[in-house]
Amino acid sequence: MNQFGTLFRVSVFGESHGPMIGVTLDGVPSGISLTKEDFAADIARRKPGAKGTTPRVETDEPIIVSGVFNDRTTGAPLTILFENNNTRSKDYEKLREFPRPGHADFVASKKFKGFEDYRGGGHFSGRLTVLLVAAGVVAKKICHGVEIKGHIVEIAGEKDPEKGLQKAIDQKDSVGGIVECVVRNLPLGLGEPFFDSVESQLAHAAFAIPAIKGVEFGAGFAAARMFGVDHNDSILDDSGTTQTNHAGGIVGGISNGNDLIYRVAVKPTSSTPKEQQTLNVKSNQVENFSVKGRHDLCIALRVPVVLEATTAFVLADLLLQSKARN
């Protein structure tokens, strides 16, 4: 289903080329100050327009239609709409012939039996990540005192994002990257053993972001090559501070009071400018094909604020749950 959360619940709806898209937040405590302006900074961070990002620019003006009264949350479901202004549906009609490799076009058509809104990826579109960002803005307010920061670790294998993006421009191809999220001042004790571990929930939400293909916490995959005595984080004091942080702030599925650190792998944008070979579903032949339309060369550049957002709504939910039991 298209929602996430137990006490703080995020539901998304809408398609890339429909009239509008929206997100409903259920379980928001009442009395939190919230205005349109609160969304501006994070939405701007996600916005395309910079080098290597799509020239499709939406106004991305949040329209709060419920759950806020006199600039405070009311405790009722909070719905935020965004209009789709800048759609060029004609660009996509041709794609019915060529389900784009790496995109959901083909699986969507099979899964929904041809009834899916195929324009611009429909409900699968990265356009909907603005909804996650909007949810994150509210969630961050619930996580007050907790600092959540996403940043680029590498682009196209380069630590310097500029150098990585230049590789894409030079190659006239799209590239991927790695994004890290660091959470500071998170209370010890969030999460549950087994299915509701902090890792389970953050990974669940992170893999909801299109193009994410890997998630690792702390030392992550490198841990698989370490010895136990090197990997273990010695506890130094009663607040749980550890000497190292290979666990990425989570032990036994529970936050341990140290910085929570995790990384995601972002695949290269599926809409590469390069010519590809793939199935033409009308001719039923494999043919040459080029993606038209407006696309990011490196979607990873826009992921940090989205990953902050999914992190924020996972943690908001866990913080609310933690209050319930204490």
- Residues 144-183 close enough to bind a second copy by CB under 8 A: 154, 156-157, 168, 171, 173-178
Under the binding rule (CB under 8 A), the answer on residue 217 touching a second copy is yes
Under the binding rule (CB under 8 A), the answer on residue 212 touching a second copy is yes
Site string for a second copy, 5-44 (x = CB under 8 A): -xx-xxxxxxx--xxxxx-x-xx-xxx-------------
Select the residue interacting with a second copy from 36, 40, 184, 200 (CB under 8 A): 200
Q: What is the DSSP track for 71-106?
A: TEE-SS-EEEEEE--S--THHHHGGGTSPPTTSSHH
Under the binding rule (CB under 8 A), the answer on residue 87 touching a second copy is no
Tell me if residue 31 falls in helix, strand or coil.
coil
Q: Which CB, 41 or 86, lies closer to a second copy? A: 86
Under the binding rule (CB under 8 A), the answer on residue 223 touching a second copy is yes
The least distance separating a second copy from the CB of residue 291, rounded to whole angstroms, comes to 9
Amino acid 322 reads S
Q: Which CB, 62 or 218, lies closer to a second copy? A: 218
The least distance separating a second copy from the CB of residue 242, rounded to whole angstroms, comes to 8
CA angle 63, 28, 261 (to 5 degrees): 100
Whether residue 62 contacts residue 134, with contact meaning beta carbons closer than 8 Å, is answered with yes
Q: Which tokens go with 82?
A: 């965004």
Amino acid 214 reads G
Select the residue interacting with a second copy from 48, 52, 62, 67 (CB under 8 A): 67
Q: How far apart are CA 247 and CA 189, in angstroms?
A: 15
Under the binding rule (CB under 8 A), the answer on residue 112 touching a second copy is yes
The least distance separating a second copy from the CB of residue 216, rounded to whole angstroms, comes to 3
- Restricting to residues 240-259, name those near a second copy by CB under 8 A: 240, 242-243, 246-248, 251-256
Q: List Cβ neighbours of 144 (8 Å cut-off, separation of 6 or more).
A: none
Q: List Cβ neighbours of 86 (8 Å cut-off, separation of 6 or more).
A: 56, 57, 58
Under the binding rule (CB under 8 A), the answer on residue 130 touching a second copy is no
